[in-house]
Structure 1
């Protein structure tokens, strides 16, 4: 793999000979993650914000190899669930550096966070509902907290990720000062947090910065009205990468300047949480063609990957670039590529020009690092794929392929009816 660090890595920039060898050795469908690219993306982003505290948003990709790579690169980790806290700690993160952003947290998540905070007072819990803070207090937690704000401005690649204007996320803007005055008596109120959306590119940047400016204004108001000296203001992540071949990558240095201008003078540390930007173009999926069907409406290309492997096209109508690794120089032909699931949603593209696929060709589905394996599932009782990491000239399996035994284990290990009766 190339170790250069251009602003974007296209699917055609990968070493096709190496990809073919990996598919032959490890079978398909197969996730391939380039850990050098993960580190380079983080370092490029951090360099564009030299005065900010840059964390990695673990929800984009919680693979242990990815987390270890980012911890080695100097990143701290932001988590959105108990499992992410546990995985970050398992990868070597210091619990005192973690930030937990609780969204309608289940009891078990808050139990874990309260217990973790009692042992590690550096943990910060961010709440987006008054209930969350009341539930924390009921568990005896009185440590570091931040308030998640709903700025009323959402940005991003799809309405389902425009969190900045979704009532599910954060305290209404006009209620934050009053809540801050209350929380400062009950906890160690250290910060404010907002996340405007995901997949922000050039067209969304002005709205994104406008929302950042609103949050910064509110931070100054909180300090003026309550006397709380905020340690940080967290402006979230959401910075995108170009999935389509004709989209230009963000110039993160220019983005850094725009963000600093939007924030203005602020007597608090700026925090940022890139997730997608760090991992999206560092991973792809390899899949084999098993069917080519000519119909009056379309040429349908069937592959062994499916929406169980990558659900984003079905869930968000997301575009992922696709390349024919076996024969990149063949004539382009408009084809529809889909998997083996019994639903019309199991389609990766429709009438897209691709070097004409034939049975047993290897295709690469690019930009699969963000919310790819994280959303993989077992629909149709399909075992989840293996994941291979590339680092320098070395490759290693970092997630083995599931078997049918893995798929059915939780049923076979469930308590028998008699055991269930005894437990009741």
Structure 2
């Protein structure tokens, strides 16, 4: 099977259970496992479908050094939404000329970093989403490659919190763009328009996505003289086991049709599509409690390890790796944190979990470990990369010493 012809989605059931058990025993839990072969397969499939476009990786999905290196080596340039992501990409070996910086209400220190980087690498493109950002860039001496982010007023995706195309926080209001473009052409090397209208787009969302992208493409034709039109990312993967995967060929054909009249390079920034199904989170059962309402299954991972269910009410499939052949029992799986939000599922049929069972949570490769936090002073999980038969730690597990390290390093008496 070629990379391009690989399965459109890696289901949680496709992960080797014996290998997951071995990794959990060797590296403890909670533990992120990232399949880098799968990342390459996903990129190859996407790149082949969108063979008419310039494909970048939206680093915010997972800024792990090993992940960035894998995608950069596969041929993806890197799109960064913050200066910290620029820094991480550089430390992963990405050449500055292969970076694009998409600023969202950038702090002064972020703009300072980006402009300093541009001073040494004039190929760097900076995308601005507000008129004031242009003024702030000019005040720093920047007169280089600039793109403007468009807010088309239409959002798509799996949740209102990611439907960025209709959120005033993101981009310049649609009708104001032509005037701002004229201004930008006077002050900078204006090179393109950018838009990202939402995330988690599946086949059933393509008509809505088409309407949003069509507005942006129409604006690009109206503005004219563009080097590129960047349509962001947004293409999703199914999180529920019964959901079909995105028809990536249909998605590519839709984008091709929408942009047919645009005389510019079409750019795309997939993130979730490349990473989501390449990650699994392993967690160990420590407590089982029968209640009149449900069977409570307590595990050692919490919203500190995976916050998406609490933040977005996201569904993540859960597999009992140890006892997968047992009778399913309606169970509520939750972590060790003192909040009712710390649950991964409620009353979901799962093969009957017992103490010390290993559970795997699927589709966590995108926005999983990147959103990990230290609430309740929980150390962040470790991460292991698998490639063929090889396994290596790419992010060590935090310790209690890590939790207080920055406080311990403060000089003087405390």
TM over 0.5: yes
Partner of 1:19: 20
Partner of 1:263: 259
Partner of 1:239: 235
Q: Output aligned runs, 1:23-172, within 5 Å.
A: 23-172=24-173
Q: CA deviation at 1:356?
A: 0.5
* Counterpart check, 1:284 vs 2:280: yes
Q: CA deviation at 1:413?
A: 1.0
Partner of 2:301: 305
Distance in 2 (alpha carbons) for counterparts of 1:353 and 1:15: 21
Q: CA deviation at 1:203?
A: 2.4
Distance in 2 (alpha carbons) for counterparts of 1:414 and 1:367: 39
Q: CA deviation at 1:416?
A: 2.6
**C-alpha deviations, 1:213-243, integer Å up to 9, x for none?**
11111011112xxxxx210000000000000
Q: CA deviation at 1:414?
A: 1.6
**C-alpha deviations, 1:368-407, integer Å up to 9, x for none?**
0110000000111011111000011100000001100000
Unaligned 5+ segments in structure 1 are: 224-228, 419-424
Distance in 1 (alpha carbons) for counterparts of 2:138 and 2:42: 39
**C-alpha deviations, 1:103-124, integer Å up to 9, x for none?**
0000000001111111101100
Distance in 2 (alpha carbons) for counterparts of 1:297 and 1:281: 32
TM-score normalised over the length of structure 2: 0.98
Partner of 2:197: 196
Q: CA deviation at 1:417?
A: 5.2
Partner of 1:410: 406
Distance in 1 (alpha carbons) for counterparts of 2:388 and 2:72: 18
**C-alpha deviations, 1:253-275, integer Å up to 9, x for none?**
11101111122221100000000
Larger mean CA deviation between 74-83 and 88-97 belongs to 88-97
Distance in 1 (alpha carbons) for counterparts of 2:244 and 2:377: 39
Partner of 1:421: none
Distance in 1 (alpha carbons) for counterparts of 2:104 and 2:329: 45
Unaligned 5+ segments in structure 2 are: none
Partner of 1:393: 389
Distance in 1 (alpha carbons) for counterparts of 2:160 and 2:79: 23
Distance in 2 (alpha carbons) for counterparts of 1:150 and 1:24: 48
Partner of 1:379: 375
Distance in 2 (alpha carbons) for counterparts of 1:309 and 1:236: 27
Give the paired residue count.
412
**C-alpha deviations, 1:165-206, integer Å up to 9, x for none?**
000000000000000000001000000000000111122211
TM-score normalised over the length of structure 1: 0.96
Query: What is the aligned-residue RMSD (CA, Å)?
Result: 1.1
